[in-house]
Structure 1
């Protein structure tokens, strides 16, 4: 029988730390708590955890510094919790290695969904790591199949959707980085590995065109979602299909 995922909640506010631990426990998660970086380091040194929920504003060593340590030395997923809603703060946390960023006050059910999303991505990454990148010929997601060799997008009904060269590169970038928030700058960096440059001003319009081809309702997208202030998120379970 699979053991429950172990979560470490690091927050100096008892009125947040204790209720959150109790709530997560109701979802089958095993939770430990720490009030600051010192306690966090002590627990991580003697116990295994699958994910850390880390408050940014902590006494002593702050959450961003702690996040960098966990990312660089332990490789454990981190979700940052903060009362700061400034997009620049969120981007700073993500660049330091955080896997997600939740602004207080938050709905605990949303936090559970984000935790589960990270675990799903980890399992998918583990499966895909068994396949060498050069062996991948297609990506399957939702009702679609992206054929890399043919540069085609095909629906489950067999219908082929025409993609421009830029749309193909954009979609490939999204499926290869599924369930990860990508800023416009990061998208450009990933897409510009080919010979034809993509300009910043075209990213939003290309995403809009791609939505019209992928989504049942482009005004309410389910796959290619906007992460307001941060960029875009391709929300899908993607399976890499080897040659």
Structure 2
């Protein structure tokens, strides 16, 4: 199994990346600083490192320059800096790949697979058969939209309010993808202003608290910084 270490100081984004990549079949370890990164690297081996530029204790460019000297590990930069000069600096530092936030997890996963094959010397030729599709884990949660019930991975039923149902319907319209704040506000009938955003955040907060109280675990509703929200667990939807 491909092992990935992710250095990202934004906790919500780090958790989202880990959950998405874990669902794609990778094994991930997350850290929030350069110090924690190098401590992990001193005791464990990884196939790929994903590095944020803006870590609190050291520049991501400097970290990449050090890691690029490891011939057995791929290095990916993941940053909000999308300018041409930033990209050039990233590649000059030794990055194999450069992604600008926000990133589609499936695209990132495909890039990681390609990078690992290249490092192993197994990059397929044009005539080679494509790799088999990744196996998708069975759904662990269920949303019953007719009975207004969210069933957890432990088969515990949670009764939903009408607002919570509308929120989930929008979140699950495209499973695994981020629903923007604007989309959610419109679905809930709120204005795109400060009051509307407060109401949206209150619904998300109440639903998270309800799920966590009933299930004893963390609610799989992730905040995607500056974009919206994402339901990060596998789920099936019952419509009738």
Question: TM-score normalized by structure 1?
Answer: 0.50
CA shift, 1:21, in A, is: 0.4
SS at match of 2:4: strand
CA shift, 1:95, in A, is: 1.3
Distance (whole Å) between structure 2 residues aligned to residue 19 and residue 61 of structure 1: 23
- 2:118 aligned residue (106, 117, 121): 121
Gaps of 5+ in 1: 128-139, 144-243
In structure 1, what is the equivalent of residue 126 of structure 2? Answer: 142
- How big is each residue's C-alpha offset from its partner over 1:53-85, in whole Å with a ceiling of 9 and x where there is no partner? 110111111111111111125652110001011
In structure 1, what is the equivalent of residue 19 of structure 2? Answer: 22
CA shift, 1:124, in A, is: 2.5
1:110 aligns with 2:94: no
CA shift, 1:110, in A, is: 0.7
- How big is each residue's C-alpha offset from its partner over 1:93-119, in whole Å with a ceiling of 9 and x where there is no partner? 111111000000111111001101101
1:72 aligns with 2:69: yes
In structure 1, what is the equivalent of residue 9 of structure 2? Answer: 12
SS at match of 2:5: strand
- How big is each residue's C-alpha offset from its partner over 1:137-159, in whole Å with a ceiling of 9 and x where there is no partner? xxx9426xxxxxxxxxxxxxxxx
Q: Could you say if the C-alpha distance between residues 57 and 88 of structure 1 is closer, same or farther in structure 2, counting changes exceeding 3 Å?
A: same
Gaps of 5+ in 2: 128-240
How large is the Cα RMSD of the aligned pairs? 2.1
CA shift, 1:89, in A, is: 0.8
- How big is each residue's C-alpha offset from its partner over 1:18-63, in whole Å with a ceiling of 9 and x where there is no partner? 1110111111111001101000000000001110011011111111
Distance (whole Å) between structure 2 residues aligned to residue 43 and residue 141 of structure 1: 35
Matches within 5 A, 1:86-101: 86-101=83-98
SS at match of 1:72: coil
Decide whether the 8 Å contact of 2:22 with 2:28 is kept in 1. yes
Number of corresponding residues: 128
Distance (whole Å) between structure 1 residues aligned to residue 125 and residue 64 of structure 2: 31
Matches within 5 A, 1:75-224: 75-124=72-121, 141-142=125-126
In structure 2, what is the equivalent of residue 55 of structure 1? Answer: 52
Q: Which has the higher contact order (CA 8 A, sep 6+)?
A: 2
Decide whether the 8 Å contact of 2:4 with 2:47 is kept in 1. yes
